[in-house]
Structure 1
Amino acid sequence: MPQALPTPQSGDVFLRISAHLAERTDIASALAAVADEIAEVIPFTHADLCLIDRPGWLASYEVGIRTRWSRARTRLDAAPIRDLLTGKCEFMLCHDAMTDPRQTFPGACSEPIFNHKLRSRVHVLMKVMGQPIGTLNISHATPGLYTPETVTRAQHIADVLSPYFHALHTAELAQRATRVGHEARAREEGLRQGALELTQALEQQQQRIGMDLHDQTLADLTRLLRDVTSEAAVPPNDLAQRITETIGDLRRIIDTAVPTLLELFGFAHAVRVHLERAVGSAPIRIEVTDDSDGAPERLDPTVRTALFRITQEAINNAARHSGARRIEVRIDPAPPGGLVLTVRDDGCGIPAEPPRQSGLTNIRTRARLISARLDIASAGGTTVRVALEGQP
């Protein structure tokens, strides 16, 4: 036999609920403010409001126990209350939700039911102007506690709560839309500024490549031509050595301009090769670790190239300016579907007023253009950390 619910001690419970709600401006505090009054009408272990947040998605606000339901939005088709919101029933009354197939169907977001033994459950619709805006959900660990009378009580509570929480939720959605709009405009301005800075950086890079070709490769070829056409015989071994060195210099310039290794052998291998070249014969220990199961290879090609350029610049700074004895590059997963790339050295760190800012500027610009989170720390060496969220 189901246990009898206590009768409310005072007839002004609903007036007190209205008075509490009139003083609140956000959903969470408003629900907490009326929790005692709800418990006076219907004892509960857990209670929550599940509001339609956007088409197909629900937002939950809880009292009594905090669960995953309020930590993230829930898809309607995975919610234990889906039958109620899709019109299959007018209310839901569960003797034991842990064994009720309406609550624990395959794919259901029902972990809190089992984690907190929410056995007795009652769910009723919240409506405004005849349209559902969500549900009031009340649960208790005791099985079979709630009865049809509980449904009636819950519906009375829901009818009182609905207009208040609809107004609060509408205001919250408007604030969110305003915030999203501001963030979108800020991102657009950041991309515009970033594109301008990158254009300037690319122009500088082209000028540098031209100077390298003029000052180094062209000069080397001119000397070779002079040696070959001079009357003095040049030993073949010397000539071969000079040609080999010129080819090597030209290859380094080309590799800087076009990351062919990235396309041919993949991200981690290209990073290792660049790190070995940057270090050269210096006594610097190097390490490249990819624990992301090849996540860089799944990036959009433009994003992957930008990430490689950031890595190149960070490695060059560490190899040329830090005096490091160790340089490490790590690629780690960042669920869901993202990655974190870290370039760390044990060198002298970044000076308070570095003589050359273009390298760090290029890193920041490229990170902004691919919407990556960038952290540069200078303590016990330098750490450059780039985080990319998963791409749809």
Structure 2
Amino acid sequence: MTPHTAPRIEIDTPEALLAQIAGRLSEETDIVTALGAVEADIAQLIPFVHCDVCLLDRPGWLVSHEVGIRTRWSRASGRVDHAPIRDLLQGRCGHMLTEDATHDPRYTYPGASCEPILNHNLRSRVNVPLRVMGATIGTLNISDTRIGVYDAATVALAQQIADVLAPSFHILHMAERARRSGRAPEVGHGSEEGLRRGALELTQALEHERQRVGMDLHDQTLADLSRLLREVTAEPPLPRATLASHLSQTITDLRRIIDEAVPTLLDLFGFAHAVRVHLERASGDAATVLEVMDRTDGAPDQLDPTVRSALFHITQEAINNATRHAGASRITVTVDRSTAHTLTVTVQDNGCGIPATPARQSGLMHMRTRARLISAGLEVLADHGTVVRVALRVQS
């Protein structure tokens, strides 16, 4: 059954369809059935003959899952540097759009795995990135046999669809990789339900994070720049030293927003260094004693990048709670191995502790969600302050 003949319920607005896609994804526990579950909804938003999701797999390789016409793309993994969408996967462009891919050298360059494009006349194509926490994890690719079907409006709509798909497909791909490597137990009913809840909660958490960054930029950066403009154009203008000081503070605040959204230090210098820098920035108080101890010789940096990123975000949230709400004079982060197969990260402070009914629980919810999604245990304990400990099973 093709997307053009698949039965579907007509829905008035794209927003309602996108919400329906998110709801369907929360009920699925593998990529193939998940893509099939939303095939008709995607086709109602953007008619297609072929649609596939490419996901970055082991270094330099990708895997594809498709609906509509079935091609060789989903029969075996492929190399990123041979993919018709390599420019998008390698970050050289923000999207790809073509009226006729069969005559577009970006898709049919020498060595490209472009046989399905040529054999099935996949002419009109739109390709957009799938992103999680700012990182590209793959692409959403939509094709039609007609020439010139898609335009810039299609690109924007495809990106909205991709933003809904990305968290769930990322989680399902992580679970699939874990099963392949033998690191995950068989999925039972209870863990299926946990995976569904985790996918939905992460989708919501990512949307909240997007809104938070937008609000920070609007409420702080835009306001600061507007104030600077008034100060520069005032008669008489403020002294240059004062303007330079205000501009420097605006740059610092903007850098903080960027650092919180994309933890580049984690990629550049490793887990322990990124934690230490975040701890120092979050504290902002020279009187607070801060300590970061890694007793594992950099074990977190040997983890899958996505798992390491989730572990960092859990640690980051625990540090934020300690610095913003606990009134602590000492904060210690310890990376250790409780057993040969268990990596632990502990954030301990000597502050006032967590109230029995905290006014803001989203931070704790995000930590628990991220821990569940990487199959880690999370403890929040009272011990002359607060202890947050995440334990992750790893290979020795």
Question: TM-score, normalising length from structure 2?
Answer: 0.52
> Aligned residue for 2:255?
251
Q: What is the 5 A alignment of 1:217-228?
A: 217-228=221-232
Q: Residues 356 and 234 from structure 1, CA distance in 2 versus in 1: closer, same or farther, beyond 3 angstroms?
A: same
Residue in 1 that maps onto 2:15: none
CA displacement, residues 127-164 of structure 1 (integer Å, 9 cap, x when unaligned):
xxxxxxxxxxxxxxxxxxxxxxxxxxxxxxxxxxxxxx
1:224-243 equivalences in 2 (<5 Å): 224-243=228-247
TM-fit CA distance, 1:262? 0.5
- Residue 374 in 1 paired to residue 368 in 2? no
- Aligned partner of 2:358 in structure 1 is 354
CA distance in 2, matches of 1:295, 1:391: 10
Partner of 1:327: 331
Partner SS, residue 292 of structure 1: coil
The equivalent of 2:387 in structure 1 is 383
1:343 corresponds to 2:353: no
Q: Which residue of 2 aligns with 1:105?
A: none
Aligned partner of 1:283 in structure 2 is 287
Distance 2:280 2:251 in 1: 18
| Corresponding residue for residue 202 of structure 2 | 198
- Give the alignment's Cα RMSD to 1 decimal: 1.7
Distance 1:389 1:182 in 2: 16
Question: 1 CA distance for matches of 2:195 and 2:260?
Answer: 24
Report the Cα distance in structure 2 between the residues aligned to 1:223 and 1:236, rounded to whole angstroms.
15
Q: Distance in 2 between matches of 1:282 and 1:352?
A: 30
1:350 aligned counterpart, secondary structure: coil
Q: Amino acid of the residue matched to residue 267 of structure 2?
A: E
Aligned pair partner of 1:274 in 266, 275, 278: 278
Contact 1:323 1:347 in 2 (8 A): yes
Residues 371-380 or 361-370, more deviating: 371-380
Instruction: Give the 5 Å matches for 1:158-169.
Output: none
**Aligned positions of 1:1-392 closer than 5 A:** 184-281=188-285, 283-391=287-395
Q: In structure 2, what is the Cα distance between the partners aligned to 1:338 and 1:378?
A: 22
- What TM-score does the superposition give when structure 1 sets the normalisation length? 0.52
1:349·1:381 contact (CA, 8 Å) conserved in 2?
A: yes
Q: Offset of 1:186 from its aligned partner?
A: 1.7
SS in 2 for 1:313: helix
Tell me which residue corresponds to 2:37.
none
Q: Deviations over 1:164-215 (max 9, x none)?
A: xxxxxxxxxxxxxxxx998633222212101111111111111111111001
Match in the other structure for 2:114: none
Note the alpha carbon deviations across 1:295-327, whole angstroms, 9 max, x for none. Answer: 000000000000000000000000111111111
Deviation at 1:337, TM superposition (A): 4.3
Q: What do residues 38-77 of structure 1 show as CA deviations (whole Å, max 9, x unaligned)?
A: xxxxxxxxxxxxxxxxxxxxxxxxxxxxxxxxxxxxxxxx
Distance in 2 (alpha carbons) for counterparts of 1:378 and 1:337: 26
Tell me how far 1:254 sits from its aligned partner: 0.3
Q: 1:184 to 1:334 in 2, by over 3 A?
A: farther
User: How far apart, CA to CA, are the structure 1 residues paired with 2:341 and 2:308?
Assistant: 14
Pair 182,262 (structure 1): closer, same or farther in 2 beyond 3 Å? closer
- Residues of 1 paired with 2:192 and 2:346: CA distance? 27
User: How far off its partner does 1:225 sit?
Assistant: 1.2
Identity across aligned pairs (percent)? Answer: 65
How far off is 1:288 after superposition? 0.3
Q: Aligned partners of 2:198 and 2:268: how far apart in 1? A: 29
In the TM superposition, residue 380 of structure 1 has moved relative to its aligned partner by 1.5
Shift in Å at residue 290 of structure 1? 0.1
1:232-274 per-residue CA deviation (whole Å, 9 max, x = no partner) reads 1221100100110000000000000000110111100000000
2:185 and 2:231 map into 1 onto residues whose CA distance is 67
Match of 1:386, as an amino acid?
Answer: V
Q: How far is the alpha carbon of 1:229 from its aligned partner?
A: 2.1
SS in 2 for 1:305: helix
Instruction: Name the aligned partner's letter for residue 360 of structure 1.
Output: L
Q: Which ranges of structure 1 fall in alignment gaps of 5 or more residues?
A: 1-179
Partner Cα distance (1:299, 1:220) in 2 = 39
